[in-house]
Chain A
Amino acid sequence: MSDFSPDPDELASAYLDDDASVDERARVEADPALLARVEELRTVRDALRDPVTPPSTVERDAAIHAALAVSNVVHLDAARRQRRLRVASIAAAIVLVLGAAGVLIRSASNQNQDKFQAVAGSIGSSAGDAGAERVPQAASTAAGTTGLSTASRAALGSFADRASLTAAAQSQVHDPSFNQSKQAADSAAAGGGTGFAGASPPACLVPPPPDATNEAYAATAVLEGRSVQLDVFTSADGSLTLIVTDSTTCTQVFSQPV
């Protein structure tokens, strides 16, 4: 048994909307009171369907223009977002390019350093060879050989023969201020950084004597009209050896104890 029965107004309203079931329709059509209620609701519906007073053209245009103006604001916001995104993209691209360039430069620098170290190593291993190579200071220093750039070396002056040059070098090495000048030279060499020392040409890489422990002195001079570099090495027994190299050809001119 079903006690559920829709409200009479709901029945009449559904009937009016043609939304009533077959049973509901039968019930409405069998009940004059419900039919009368349907007519009352129909009157209400017809009244609601009467057209409303339309707004004037001005009022209508005002409403539409107001909405379109909002559309402008919306588009401006979108454009602003796009612009910010574009700027951020450009900034990100710049950062990426700079980063990549930095990596490339560092990589190239490492490759050069490796190459120079390899060259210096090969030269160091052939210490008995009388020849010399022109390599940057850092590479030669790493290899334990001399390579102070010409700008970092003291200039001894011009000499007419080997004896006077040797004597000058000897006096420099045994001079009390020698250590200070050497430190200055070392400092200048260190300040040159890892690359070529400014615009000065790199010195010739002079292979030290087999028993050399360190370089005691480096200088440049003019011997018999040609530029030479002087390197004085300290051996394990404390003796000093002067090696004079032609700065232009990097070939050894002579060497002798001082």
Chain B
Amino acid sequence: MTRAGSTHRSRRSAWAPTSFSVIRGDHDDATLVSAAQAGDRDALDVLLRRHHDRVFALCRRIMGNQTDALDATQEALIAIVRGLGRFDGRAAFTTWSYRVATNTCLDELRRRRRRPDPAPLDDDRAAFGADPSSPGMDEQIAARMTLDEAMQHIPVEFRAAVILRDVCTLDYAEIAEVLDIPPGTVRSRIARGRALLANRIGGNPSPASDRQTPPDE
């Protein structure tokens, strides 16, 4: 097993650029991206592992449940790998990967608009159920469900802007870049999305406004 692994690695080392022959986790994104673009599979592996959780958190919030988030995350990582050759490094890799992941999730949600709402959130209960000794678990589950349910009623364009701001902590300019919209529109979309969520969670749903489309669409 070890022998086979070392053989595989040495074959890859011969193929990979010399300067990236030893990829470590402390290389910065730019270095890893360059190596990955040159065909270094180890660099790509490190890059994907480094950004997986961020991408998953984004997908989890946009998709609204664990199962869909896992699917969307995998699709997003595949899209990242496929698009890596076109990444020119002008934006940070994190910002670019958020853009790819957001588009992947929004595309999937738009496809699902024509299909019945799956809406089961049992996977969240199962996830929490794995550690029943956690304090305040019921409250956490209830809050999470409320948030996820509320999220499903927010137009996806508002939802994405709010999540990029509050989950990914991007600033308005970065969100504008990710969503390819003007910064002013970012500000209004975040405000509208937060307001709709607050109304939903606070027991003040306003169905009429929930169903409106973004003003700039």
Chain A interfacial positions (CB closer than 8 Å to B): 7, 9-10, 12-14, 16-17, 19, 37, 40-41, 43-45, 47-55, 59-60, 62-64, 66-68, 70-71, 74-75, 78
Contacts and interface: CB of A to CB of B under 8 A. Distances in A.
Chain B interface: which size bin?
Answer: 35 or more
Given A43-B201, A63-B73, A53 B128 contact: yes
B73 A55 contact: yes
A51 B166 CA distance: 11
11 contacts: A10-B188, A13-B194, A37-B198, A47-B201, A50-B140, A50-B143, A51-B57, A60-B56, A64-B49, A68-B41, A70-B81
Contacts of A59: 70
Contact of A52 (B45, B57, B195): B57
Interface string B95-131: 0000000000000000000000000000010011000
Main secondary structure on B side of the interface with A: helix
Interface in B52-98: 52-53, 56-57, 60-61, 66, 69-70, 73-74, 77-78, 80-82, 85
A40 to B, nearest CB: 4
B39 interface: yes
A64 B45 CA distance: 7
A74 B201 contact: no
A68 B195 contact: no
A10 B128 contact: no
A47 B143 contact: yes
A185 B190 CA distance: 103
Contacts of A70: 78, 81-82
A37 B204 CA distance: 13
B166 A45 contact: yes
A190 to B, nearest CB: 63
A139 to B, nearest CB: 62
Interface string B167-187: 100001000000000000001
A13 B163 CA distance: 14
Given A9-B195, A17-B172, A71-B41, A40 B147 contact: no
Interface of B: 39, 41, 44-45, 48-49, 52-53, 56-57, 60-61, 66, 69-70, 73-74, 77-78, 80-82, 85, 124, 127-128, 140, 143-144, 147, 162-163, 165-167, 172, 187-188, 190-192, 194-195, 197-198, 201-202
A67 B127 contact: no
Contacts of B188: 7, 10
A52 B56 contact: yes
B70 A67 contact: no
B167 A49 contact: yes
A-B pairs, top 4 by smallest CB distance, nearest first, are A13-B191, A67-B77, A10-B191, A9-B195
A201 B165 CA distance: 96
Contact of A7 (B53, B166, B167, B191): B191
B104 to A, nearest CB: 12
Of A12, A16, A40, most B-chain CB atoms within 10 Å: A40
A45 B191 CA distance: 11
A52 B187 CA distance: 25
B194 A9 contact: yes
A64 B77 contact: yes
A141 B11 CA distance: 69
